[in-house]
Amino acid sequence: MAERNQYNFSGRHAIVTGGGAGIGLAIAHRLVEGGATISLWDRDPDMLEQARSTFGDVKPQVVTVDVSDADAVVAARDATLQATAGIDILVTSAGITGPNTTLWDYPVADWDKVIGVNLRGPFLCCRAVVPQMREKNYGRIVNIASIAGKEGNPNASAYSASKAGVIGMTKSLGKELAQTGIRVNCITPAAVRTGIFAQMTQQHIDFMLSKIPMNRFGEVEEIAALVAWLSSEDCSFSTAAVFDISGGRGTY
């Protein structure tokens, strides 16, 4: 593989939620390649250990946490702060899809769970780290939303609503912090083949591919490349913004 362009993250510490697998893990690798130290937050300790073993000399801190649990997120933040000088970057990638079914058949408990992980989770994580970022007047927050949050995918109402919520929350927080050194943005990927596909029906996966003009899925490294820029000091005049990465699907 050709050598990747790098941003300089030396001296920076990043939290990547959902860092045990998929997009989050690829982002963590990309940040480490640029010199960052990392805390991987995930709900699954086995996945975290497996993820940790994929790193070389600079092993990430791993923190088992359910991002929808308010007390657990505060405890994870405190555990991270004990292990590092401070938190410079937060990437919220933990997410679930929920069942693929029409809204009128959507089980209420599943709706609550999807909103809990995908929207309450990023809210709790941002809420936990922003005070410390404000103290040192520096931070980069990147929330992983989805093209589904802009367009609404049929048979994924909870997921689409949760991601639309992340877009709105990012816009609010970005404006609240606009006059500080903290930048808050989100990205809206189209489908990327990761473990999350196991949670979807084949019909839904086929639907998502059919909507992508490039006629292929995204790669986790492509998502990580955009997140790397958004996590860097070079991202200085963009905040409260939504970045498309959808193979041509997104039209706004």
Ligand X SMILES: NC(=O)c1ccc[n+]([C@@H]2O[C@H](COP(=O)([O-])OP(=O)(O)OC[C@H]3O[C@@H](n4cnc5c(N)ncnc54)[C@H](O)[C@@H]3O)[C@@H](O)[C@H]2O)c1
Active site residues: 159
**Residue 76 to residue 71: CA distance in whole angstroms:** 9
Shortest Cβ 137–ligand X spacing (Å): 28
Q: Which residues contact 60 (CB under 8 A, 6 or more apart)?
A: 19, 28, 32, 37, 38, 39, 40, 51, 52
Q: Which two tokens stand for residue 93?
A: 């990638």
> Residues binding ligand X: what is the number (CB under 6 A)?
28
Closer to ligand X at the Cβ: 112 or 233? Answer: 112
In order of 14, 49, 94, the CA distances from 59 in angstroms are 13, 11, 20
> Phi/psi class of residue 115: alpha, beta or left (left: φ > 0; alpha: ψ in -120 to 50)?
alpha
Closer to ligand X at the Cβ: 224 or 235? Answer: 224
If we measure between CA atoms, which residue out of 28, 17, 34, 12 comes closest to residue 60? 28
Q: Site map for ligand X, 170-209, x if CB under 6 A?
A: -------------------x-xx-xxx-------------
In this structure, the strands spanning 13-17 and 89-92 are parallel
Q: Site map for ligand X, 132-151, x if CB under 6 A?
A: ------------x-x-----
Q: Which residues contact 247 (CB under 8 A, 6 or more apart)?
A: 190, 212, 213, 214, 215, 216, 218
| Residue of 14, 66, 157, 224 interacting with ligand X (CB under 6 A) | 66
DSSP summary character for residue 218 = B
Burial of 113 (0-12, 13-18, 19+ CB in 10 A): middle
Q: Is 96 in the site for ligand X (CB under 6 A)?
A: yes
**Residue 27 to residue 68: CA distance in whole angstroms:** 21
Shortest Cβ 199–ligand X spacing (Å): 7
Shortest Cβ 177–ligand X spacing (Å): 22
DSSP summary character for residue 180 = T
Shortest Cβ 164–ligand X spacing (Å): 12
Interface segment toward ligand X; rule CB under 6 A; list 5-13, 79-87, 89-97, 123-131: 89-97
Q: Site map for ligand X, 14-53, x if CB under 6 A?
A: ---xx-xxxxx-----------------xxx--x------
| Residue of 60, 95, 99, 139 interacting with ligand X (CB under 6 A) | 95
Closer to ligand X at the Cβ: 2 or 198? Answer: 198
* Binding region for ligand X (CB under 6 A): 17-18, 20-24, 42-44, 47, 65-68, 93-96, 117, 144, 146, 189, 191-192, 194-196
